[in-house]
Amino acid sequence: MATPTNLVIIGNGMVGHHLVEQLVESGSLESIRVTVFGEERHRAYDRVHLSEYFSGRDAESLALCDGDYYAHHGITLRTGEAVTRIDREQQEVVTTQGRYPYDQLVLATGSFPFVPPIPGNDSEGCLVYRTLDDLDAIQAAAKNATNGVVVGGGLLGLEAANALRGLNLDTAVVEFAPRLMPMQVDNEGGELLKEKIAALGVQVLTERATQRIEPGDTSRLRMVFQDGKILETDLVVFSAGIRPQDTLARECGLTLGERGGVVIDDQCRTSDPAILAIGEVALWNQSIFGLVAPGYQMAKAALATLTGGDMRFSGADMSTRLKLLGVDVGSIGDAHGTQNPGARMFRYLDPLTQVYRKMVVSGDGKKLLGAMLVGDNGVYDTLLQYYANGIELPKEPASLILPQQSGAAPALGPDALPETAMICSCHNVTKGSICATIDSGAADLASVKGATRASTGCGGCAALLKSVVDHELAARGIEVDKSICEHFAYTRQELYDIVRVEGIKTFSTLMASHGNPETQRLGCDICKPAVASILASCFNEPITDAAHVPLQDTNDTFMANMQKNGTYSVVPRIAGGEITPDKLVVLGQVAQKYQLYTKITGGQRIDLFGARLEDLPEIWTELIAAGFETGHAYGKSLRTVKSCVGSTWCRYGVQDSVGMAIKLENRYKGLRAPHKIKFGVSGCTRECAEAQSKDIGIIATENGWNLYVCGNGGMRPRHAELFATDLNDEQLYRTIDRFLMLYVRTADRLQRTSVWRENLEGGLEYLKEVILEDSLGLGSELERQMQRVVDNYQCEWANAISDPEKLKRFRSFVNDARPDPSIIMTSERGQPRPV
Amino acid sequence: MTATALKQDIPPKAWQLLCTKADLVAFSGVAAWLETSEGAAQVALFYLPGYGNELYAVDHFDPFSNAYVIARGIVGDLKGQPVIASPLYKQHFRLEDGQCLEDDSVRLRTWRVSFKGNEVWIES
Ligand code: SRM
Ligand SMILES: Cc1cc2nc3c(=O)[nH]c(=O)nc-3n(C[C@H](O)[C@H](O)[C@H](O)COP(=O)(O)OP(=O)(O)OC[C@H]3O[C@@H](n4cnc5c(N)ncnc54)[C@H](O)[C@@H]3O)c2cc1C
Ligand code: SF4
Ligand code: FES
């Protein structure tokens, strides 16, 4: 047996690790012995998602492989051990621990953050943003800091700024160029980006050259700019670009580029045939690639070079889409239009919604050469496909970036993509290879992902991958699985119909008759709450009844929202926001007695936070005695009907909006639905109740009420649409009855009315036909159903406290009366809060 | 080391009475306080009449939220195994051995439990 080749890899970053994975997968380890050196103490981790370290992910969850992966495959991994020298004559690498021979060497040392040569740049509090250790240092420095500055307004700079903001620092970005992200966007785009980011509370200073950093007066440091202006700050994060980590290569005499980087050919070979270079340290065709996908391509080419394959590196597309500080930015190909003489530009700028889109198109108007997006990446996928696959543009290319009056944007359907279309550039997966995987048996998204690894890198291709897979499955007559979960092969809507038509009243009956016999038939946290909600919408039995108890989410079980420390919140109903002084006093007394934190909510009522599980029954007994009832703040059900003060007091009011809000809240309270429902009622068009941002919005007119539907605040705000005008009280109730019941029947689980509406075939017109014109003849049935829910209403809390069996649930421990000792409160602004 | 010395290092496991069947909630969880020689523990007890062991005891402590809440999650089965979903951030843990399905490196402590008539006994 021939002695295996000794392969040494310097650098255990993303690309070095990818090469190891490739070696493992190709089965080459029998003839190659691999040793990997990593300067960092952590084994390879996902640097692309580094910032998530600040939002709760730890080193272990960012790691790119299990702790025993290397050992398991017989690979030696030496973390925390930097290579200090390469001895090309002896073919050895040198570390502080020893010398190690190699036959083949791969440089995957990545890059390091460039720190501009400003006097004082090494002061305490001057940091960089590249490694987990850097982030630890930033976190430590932020502890006693109130403000921070990021030097550099590029992509990584903005990401660093977001991180500082997340650490509760007043944050500023200082950029030398006249605009942010000078590489990706032009002046218009940069201006817009600046406005958007400033609106988020991050100060943006462009055209500022820092001259020196010295000790500050009010803060730890003071930055002095060329124009003499100063800025005081507690910490500075340099993010002024990256430089290839090519010191080892330089010292051992490999050929480097003029501005650094180890020169490689298509096979990733450096000027020494025994040494390859991949990733951010490598310079190919005069270019450094600062993204992970090209690095992965190089790793694949290097594998071919080492094992005799024929894959070559042939450059890579630098198109990127990002969400920086919540702002979409996209850049495709020649976004500035400077590399293609004769190119033409299309630009669209909407100053109101702050959206900017630019297309660079070939002289004949047929090909997309580049694009730039700020504020909305909705058309990114489509444009990228036109660009990457050279697809001929439509007759009026502008239609691709103009807002669409109705319907969806003109997406390029998955069927229009050629087989060669690159779907996932991280893992080099084309539409063709996805089709091949499906043809060889993959029948859903998860198996396609598993087989091709598509969408497991940067994740940017997830939406496109899903649409291609769905489309290809459908084209092969494979039904796309819409099952709610592994226990039921039905959608929520189908389950609803089964329950209603067959009159099924419990989860166990439904499971016995329609559950998947291949499972243990216990259900899960997806189907149980969904079925509980359906049963409640149909029959409205108390959710605390024994048959329903195990189905509920903890919030419904204990009829209170669980807080992060395991305590609960108490939110009594305050219909329409109207409350008597007596009741206000009671709320105060209860909060004092049980040491609860009190807050006025965004829904015009009062939330009492921090209640211990075992105190909930007593708290509610006292509240119910004072005339309160549950506010269903925990349920997927009616929350609040927000009102304005209306004609009773307001000089402009034309109807009694408070009275109407109270009537509506009392009518629909307790209605269980696919998601929560919110109403608003305003007394005139000034709209002080913000009704047009609610699921149901009502605005008073001289002649009655205008009804708006399907609005939403929250994550994706949507204006409600005008549905009917000048309704009298009776017409209003009837229309809302029908509307809500149709929603309850047909929406998917956890789908707010706004999303339901957007997915509804036929749109608003169809809704109007069914509800206002009764085109399906369903009207009276929907009304009857609603009436049954209204008639069966009872306060769940009143029901629970009258039943000792149900109250047993509210013990912290079944065998001990003491409260949970791990719940510890401290005090802030005169009120309790969790430590 | 002799066998006697070993015994002193690791106190023998013993069964003790925890609560009664009436304290349990079918197809759901309750929490119980357990005194052990290594200190007190909060145990989440799940009762699945007619399924597998019927009784399962895992740690009430949720390592993802650092709160004692596991007993208040939803019981179910995934891939053929009974699991509990944390009520806060919804990770799933196998009732059998406490293994977290979303994160290989996380596992809840488990205890052996069984019925003696209407009493629930636990080994600690
Ligand atoms: C208490 C309150 C914040 C406050 O202090 O003001 C609040 C608190 C919570 N909101 Fe809210 N929301 C509150 C008003 C709002 C509003 C404003 C409003 O209702 O006018 C909105 C935007 C309007 C809207 O919904 O369209 C709002 C949009 C959300 C969303 C996003 C919904 C969406 O469609 O995007 C969630 C997440 C969800 O439901 O999935 C959410 C979820 C939550 C949860 C339940 C998060 C959770 O699961 O723990 C919070 C529970 C707190 C607790 O423990 O009691 N909350 N939440 C407000 C209670 C109102 C009330 O009296 O019932
Ligand atoms: C915050 C942040 C966000 C990013 N976001 C994206 C994104 O959204 N999309 C994208 O495509 N890219 C992104 N990137 C860039 C991406 O992380 C890099 O392209 C990728 O990590 C490059 O891989 P690499 O292996 O070449 O270098 P690295 O991952 O930097 O790995 C090089 C490793 O070599 C080690 N090393 C260096 N010298 C030595 C030595 N002498 N001895 C031993 N070890 C040594 C280093 O310590 C390092 O661990 C981001 C980067 C950062 C920092
Ligand atoms: S919406 Fe009209 S009636 Fe209501 S408070 Fe505002 S101005 Fe007055
Ligand atoms: S493009 Fe990065 S995961 Fe697919």
**pLDDT higher than 60, residue B5:** no
Going by alpha carbons, the residue nearest to atom 2 of ligand 4 is A458
pTM: 0.55
Ligand 3 centroid to A649 CA: how many Å?
A: 9
- Which chain B positions have a beta carbon within 8 Å of A634's beta carbon? none
Does B25 sit within 8 Å of A815, measured CB to CB? no
Ligand nearest to the CA of A647: 3
Nearest to A666 by CA among A679, A647, A648, A684: A679
CB A663 less than 6 A from any atom of ligand 1? no
CB A636 less than 6 A from any atom of ligand 1? no
Q: Measured between CB atoms, which of A522, A566, A818 is closest to B76?
A: A522
Planar angle of CA A657, A658, A664, nearest 5 degrees? 85
**How far B112 CA lies from chain A's nearest CA (Å)?**
17
Instruction: Count the neighbouring beta carbons within 10 Å of the beta carbon of residue A558.
Output: 22
Ligand nearest to the CA of A696: 1
Average pLDDT over residues A264-285: 96
**How far A634 CA lies from chain B's nearest CA (Å)?**
13
The pLDDT confidence band at residue A2, using thresholds 50, 70 and 90, is low
Q: Measured between CB atoms, which of A528, A808, A813 is closest to B74?
A: A528
**How far B64 CA lies from chain A's nearest CA (Å)?**
10
Nearest to A27 by CA among A302, A307, A292: A307
B45 to each of A267, A563, A815, B58, how far by Cα in Å? 60, 22, 12, 7
Identity at A129, one-letter amino acid code: Y
Q: Are A765 and A757 in contact (CB under 8 A)?
A: no
Average pLDDT over residues A606-631: 96
Helix (H, G, I), strand (E, B) or coil at A209: coil
**How far B66 CA lies from chain A's nearest CA (Å)?**
7
Q: Which atom of ligand 1 is nearest to the CA of A711?
A: 26
The pLDDT confidence band at residue A771, using thresholds 50, 70 and 90, is very high
Q: Does residue A812 sit at the B interface (CB-CB below 8 Å)?
A: yes
Q: Measured between CB atoms, which of B65, B77, B85 is closest to A520?
A: B77
Q: A28-42, A322-336, A361-375, A718-732: which has the minimum mean pLDDT?
A: A322-336
**pLDDT higher than 50, residue A700:** yes
- Which chain A positions have a beta carbon within 8 Å of B26's beta carbon? 546, 550
**pLDDT higher than 70, residue A409:** no
Q: Please list the residues that pair with A476 across neighbouring strands.
A: none
Ligand 3 centroid to A647 CA: how many Å?
A: 8
Longest dimension (CA), chain B: 47
**pLDDT higher than 50, residue A224:** yes
For A780, phi then psi, to 5°, come to -70, -30
For A189, the token pair is 């785009």
For A619, the token pair is 């708290």
**pLDDT higher than 80, residue B115:** yes
The pairing of strands A242-244 and A606-611 is unpaired
**How far A565 CA lies from chain B's nearest CA (Å)?**
5
Residue contacts between A and B (CB atoms, under 8 Å): 101
- What pLDDT does residue B6 have? 40
- What pLDDT does residue B11 have? 54
Average pLDDT over residues A677-687: 96
**How far B10 CA lies from chain A's nearest CA (Å)?**
27
**pLDDT higher than 80, residue A480:** no
Instruction: Count the residues in chain B.
Output: 124
**pLDDT higher than 80, residue A479:** no
> Quick one: residue A501, left, alpha or beta (phi over 0 = left, psi -120 to 50 = alpha)?
alpha
Average pLDDT over residues A312-337: 85
Does A551 sit within 8 Å of B78, measured CB to CB? no
Q: Measured between CB atoms, which of B32, B42, B72 is closest to A557?
A: B72
- Which chain B positions have a beta carbon within 8 Å of A561's beta carbon? none
The pLDDT confidence band at residue A405, using thresholds 50, 70 and 90, is low
What radius of gyration, in Å, describes the C-alpha atoms of chain B?
15
Residues 527 to 556 of A: which have CB under 8 A from any B CB? 528-529, 546, 549-555
**How far A610 CA lies from chain B's nearest CA (Å)?**
13
| Residue of chain B whose alpha carbon sits nearest to that of A552 | B74
Q: Does residue A520 sit at the B interface (CB-CB below 8 Å)?
A: yes
- Mutating to test ligand 1, I would choose from A561, A644, A692 the residue with most ligand atoms within 8 A of its C-beta, which is A561
- HSE value, Cβ hemisphere, 13 Å, CA-based, for A454: 28
- Which chain A positions have a beta carbon within 8 Å of B103's beta carbon? 61
- What pLDDT does residue B8 have? 43
Rounded CA separation A76/A94 (Å): 16
Element spanning A527, H or E: helix A527-539
Q: Please list the residues that pair with A832 across neighbouring strands.
A: A827
Nearest to A78 by CA among A12, A33, A19: A12
Q: Hunting for tokens 């996380």 — which residue is that?
A: B106
**pLDDT higher than 50, residue A406:** no
Q: Hunting for tokens 């279309």 — which residue is that?
A: A421
Per-residue burial over A241-268, b if 16 or more Cβ lie within 10 Å, else e, is: bbbbbbebbeebebebbeebbbbbebbb
Ligand 2 centroid to A82 CA: how many Å?
A: 15
Q: Which atom of ligand 1 is nearest to the CA of A602?
A: 6
CB A131 less than 6 A from any atom of ligand 1? no
More confident residue, A553 or A33: A33
**pLDDT higher than 50, residue A504:** yes
Proportion of chain A above pLDDT 90, given as a percent: 62
The pLDDT confidence band at residue A411, using thresholds 50, 70 and 90, is low
Sheet strand arrangement including A230-233:
A210-215, A221-225, A230-233
Q: Which atom of ligand 3 is nearest to the CA of A654?
A: 3
Ligand 3 centroid to A733 CA: how many Å?
A: 22
- What pLDDT does residue A666 have? 97
- Mean pLDDT for all residues in chain A: 91
Q: Are A670 and A542 in contact (CB under 8 A)?
A: no
Does B45 sit within 8 Å of A814, measured CB to CB? yes
The pLDDT confidence band at residue A325, using thresholds 50, 70 and 90, is confident
Helix (H, G, I), strand (E, B) or coil at B110: strand
- Which chain B positions have a beta carbon within 8 Å of A525's beta carbon? 73-74, 76, 85, 90, 92
Residue A500: partners with Cβ closer than 8 Å, 6 or more residues away? A538, A745
Q: A187-191, B19-23, B43-47: which has the minimum mean pLDDT?
A: A187-191
Average pLDDT over residues A54-62: 87
Average pLDDT over residues A439-453: 86
Instruction: Count the neighbouring beta carbons within 10 Å of the beta carbon of residue A620.
Output: 26
Nearest to A454 by CA among A475, A438, A441, A478: A438
Mutate to test the interface with A, among B60, B72, B93, B96 (most CBs of A within 10 A): B72
Please state the ipTM of this predicted complex.
0.69
Burial class of residue A498 in the structure, from the number of CB atoms within 10 Å of its CB (0-12 exposed, 13-18 middle, 19+ buried): middle
Q: A293-297, A329-333, B3-7, B64-68: which has the minimum mean pLDDT?
A: B3-7
Q: Hunting for tokens 């209603």 — which residue is that?
A: A500
**pLDDT higher than 90, residue A715:** no
CB A460 less than 6 A from any atom of ligand 4? yes
- Mutating to test ligand 1, I would choose from A555, A559, A579, A601 the residue with most ligand atoms within 8 A of its C-beta, which is A601
Mutate to test the interface with A, among B23, B60, B74 (most CBs of A within 10 A): B74
- What pLDDT does residue A468 have? 87
> Quick one: residue A823, left, alpha or beta (phi over 0 = left, psi -120 to 50 = alpha)?
beta
Does B32 sit within 8 Å of A813, measured CB to CB? yes
Does A525 sit within 8 Å of B90, measured CB to CB? yes
Rounded CA separation A174/A179 (Å): 10
- What pLDDT does residue A337 have? 86
Average pLDDT over residues A215-220: 93
Ligand nearest to the CA of A700: 3
Rounded CA separation A444/A467 (Å): 12
- Which chain B positions have a beta carbon within 8 Å of A555's beta carbon? 87
**pLDDT higher than 90, residue A819:** no
H-type alpha helices, A653-810? 657-668, 729-746, 753-759, 763-772, 779-791, 796-801, 804-807
Q: Are A62 and A50 in contact (CB under 8 A)?
A: yes
The pLDDT confidence band at residue A407, using thresholds 50, 70 and 90, is very low
| Tens-place pLDDT, residues A132-176 | 999 999 999 999 899 999 999 988 898 899 899 989 999 999 999
Ligand nearest to the CA of A701: 3
Rounded CA separation A484/A491 (Å): 5
Rounded CA separation A156/B49 (Å): 55
Average pLDDT over residues A463-490: 83
| Tens-place pLDDT, residues B75-89 | 999 988 999 999 988
- Mutating to test ligand 2, I would choose from A46, A48, A135 the residue with most ligand atoms within 8 A of its C-beta, which is A48
The pairing of strands B28-36 and B39-47 is antiparallel
Question: What single string gives the DSSP state of each residue in A577-641?
Answer: G---HHHHHHHHHHHHHTT-EEEE-TTSSEEEEEE-GGGHHHHHHHHHHTT--B--TTSSBEEEE
